[in-house]
Amino acid sequence: MSHDEDDIQADFFEKVKLFFPNLPDKLLFAVPNGGKRDRKTVQTKSGSKSFSPEAARLKRQGVKAGVSDVILLIPKKGFASLLMEFKTQSGRQSDEQKEFQRQAEMCGSKYVIVRSVNDALAAMKDYLN
């Protein structure tokens, strides 16, 4: 997730409390999959090797590439949940994100790509009303 996408998502979480004050606060949450992880470089017999201990730890704990940025676990309109992927105007889904979308929609979730705070709030309003 780019810093611009981070900013859109952070602004969304600030405003969602105002627009949806009765929403159960534990059922709307962000998935911290994206972002850059600190890397370490170690010397090996065959040269140097760069890796991220934090990324390796998270992967062992079940973090999956491609999972949507925000999840709303309230079933509505025949959907199991609302999954939102935050992108900039020019941002594109990765192959992993497309595969997650495919699997989630097959299981009854609504998946949307949002490109602004207003897009995200409108998606929530459409889903909840």
What pLDDT was estimated at residue 87? 96
Residue 15: domain span: 3-36+65-128
Q: Tell which wins on pLDDT, 73 or 1.
A: 73
Chain segment 55-64, per-residue pLDDT in tens: 778 778 878 8
What pLDDT was estimated at residue 85? 98
What pLDDT was estimated at residue 63? 83
The rounded percent of the chain whose pLDDT value lies above 70 is 92
What pLDDT was estimated at residue 9? 96
Chain segment 82-99, per-residue pLDDT in tens: 999 999 999 999 999 999
What pLDDT was estimated at residue 67? 96
Assigned domain for 60 exists: no
The rounded percent of the chain whose pLDDT value lies above 90 is 70
Q: Structurally, how many domains does the chain consist of?
A: 1
Assigned domain for 9 exists: yes
- CATH for 12: 3.40.1350.10
SS (H, E, C) 40-93: EEEEECCEEEEECHHHHHHHHCCCCCCCCCEEECCCECCECCEEEEECCCCCCC
Assigned domain for 111 exists: yes
pLDDT bin (cut points 50, 70, 90) of residue 42 is confident
What pLDDT was estimated at residue 112? 99
Assigned domain for 50 exists: no
Q: Provide mean pLDDT across the span 5-12.
A: 94
pLDDT bin (cut points 50, 70, 90) of residue 27 is very high
